[in-house]
Structure 1
Amino acid sequence: MQVRNIMITGASRGIGKALVEHFLAMGDTVIGVSRSRSDIVSENYHHFLADVATEADAKHVFTSVKKQLGKLDVLINNAGIARMNAFALTPVSNVQEIMNTNFMGTFIFCQKAINLLRKSPNARIINLSTVAVPLNLAGEAAYAASKSAVETLTRIMAKEIGSFGITCNAIGPSPIATQLISGVGDEKINKLIQQQAIKKMATVEDVTNIVDFYLNPNSHMVTGQIIYLGGIS
């Protein structure tokens, strides 16, 4: 199998770190991006300290990748933050922070990646969403809205860049035991799980399974799709 150049945002922990380890184990070259340092050490791993919502940071990342690697095969926009609050009590500053990281960060990195992705025979963009979108979860208005925007971006991008040979899809994980939901109470998590067809927590392996499906060369006709874990529709 040909070695792929795969960029993953939010790469220092949680799902992002698991994806980095997954692809390194497969022999790929991985470019990780996050605001914090990574403890992963590999000759095939390149880590950039950057804020995905800052265009200057993104420009530096892609300029460096172009010089070092020449092309990009996959972009996985995983970087995201959440602030669980009732709508009436949510500070506007929190909403701005969430939208900047979750939506603007995804928008900026997708836009900057296009030229490098066009050089790949199997170019892929995968964006991370959440089951909070279809479930319209109370207390997650800003977070769900930001990810809903990511889903709309995914569908429109799929139409606009399909002629470049780039597919664009998304994954909506159900609850996974990562730092992102560490502050959410067990009662709320259990209530959410009961709304799923498969009533259990997901794992990072469930996410990598869908990622691998999207990245399969035989999935070249799959684009503009959002797959939710747990049987949510």
Structure 2
Amino acid sequence: MSKNIIITGTSKGIGNALALGFLDEFRVFGCARSKSQITHKNYTHFCLDATDEKSVVDMVKSVNREFGEIYALINNVGAASLNHLLTTNLSSVKEILNTNFISTFLFTREVAKAMSRAKNGKIVNFSSIATPLNLQGEAIYAASKSAIENFTKTSAKELANFGINVNAIGIAPTKTDLIKAVPKEKISELINRQAIKKFADFDDIKNAVEFLIDEKSKMITGQIIYLGGVW
């Protein structure tokens, strides 16, 4: 029987690609505010706001109750913003922090409760290379991802006794809707500061996720892997 994994933000972009890529190996439970175009016997979609506590609690309980143990959680849902600090309004800050960090916290907390009973589980959070590179115009976005990195390291310690591994992947620029509004010169600046100076593609991300949720990586936790190589 296929193992159960939850992937957030599966209506498009990286989350959609991951959901499609894992369907032959896992039973995938995705979520997004909009409906999904994925139609597959191994895919179940939930329409919800990933920052709404009750919706997240209800989804995780439903998956756990109806389908059994949750093997892995991939916290993919996210939002980006490029704006100078002095011209950033508070509503934008709240939206970025809620979408990127609060959703990660809520899903991690609820899924970890279920995983702790099974004494086994893999959680992968998504950060960004924008965090270590400290690019101008990305103060709020990078701060939200920095919160995820600290959360990853600390929760890895708190959940280790329950057999749960928690790691994060720092995503390099990937050709999705998320970066369409970012000026090309800013994307070029990011890529030029990587050791491997190229865009990441969906397979690069999927390969990193596969490594971190594989049983062979059971001794790896609290780590941040930056695609493309930054320091």
TM bracket, shorter-chain basis:
over 0.9
Q: Decide which of 109, 112, 116 is 1:111's aligned counterpart.
A: 109
Q: Return closer, same or farther for 1:12/1:170 CA change in 2, 3 Å cut-off.
A: same
SS of the equivalent of 2:23 reads: helix
1:68 alignment partner AA: E
Task: State the shift of 1:188 in Å.
Answer: 1.3
Task: Give CA-to-partner distance per residue, 1:154-207, whole Å, 9 cap, x none.
Answer: 000000000000000000011000011011121111121111111111101111
Equivalent residue, structure 1, for 2:84: 86
Equivalent residue, structure 1, for 2:99: 101
Equivalent residue, structure 2, for 1:3: 2
Q: Decide which of 64, 70, 76 is 2:68's aligned counterpart.
A: 70
Q: 1:155-170 residue pairs with structure 2 within 5 A?
A: 155-170=153-168
Equivalent residue, structure 1, for 2:220: 222
Equivalent residue, structure 1, for 2:124: 126
SS of the equivalent of 1:110 reads: helix
1:200 alignment partner AA: K
- Count of aligned pairs: 231
Equivalent residue, structure 2, for 1:41: 39
Task: State the shift of 1:66 in Å.
Answer: 2.0
SS of the equivalent of 1:221 reads: coil
Equivalent residue, structure 2, for 1:191: 189
What 5-or-longer segments of structure 2 have no aligned partner?
none
Runs of 4+ displaced beyond 4 Å: 119-122
Task: Give CA-to-partner distance per residue, 1:40-81, whole Å, 9 cap, x none.
Answer: 001111100111111011111012112211220000100000
Cα distance in 2 for partners of 1:78, 1:135 equals 21
SS of the equivalent of 1:139 reads: coil
Equivalent residue, structure 2, for 1:23: 22
Is the CA contact 2:194–2:229 (under 8 Å) kept in the aligned structure 1? yes
Cα distance in 1 for partners of 2:162, 2:65 equals 22
What 5-or-longer segments of structure 1 have no aligned partner?
none
1:198 alignment partner AA: I
SS of the equivalent of 2:66 reads: helix
Task: State the shift of 1:121 in Å.
Answer: 6.2
Task: State the shift of 1:122 in Å.
Answer: 4.5
Is the CA contact 2:50–2:56 (under 8 Å) kept in the aligned structure 1? yes
Equivalent residue, structure 1, for 2:230: 232
Cα distance in 2 for partners of 1:87, 1:221 equals 40
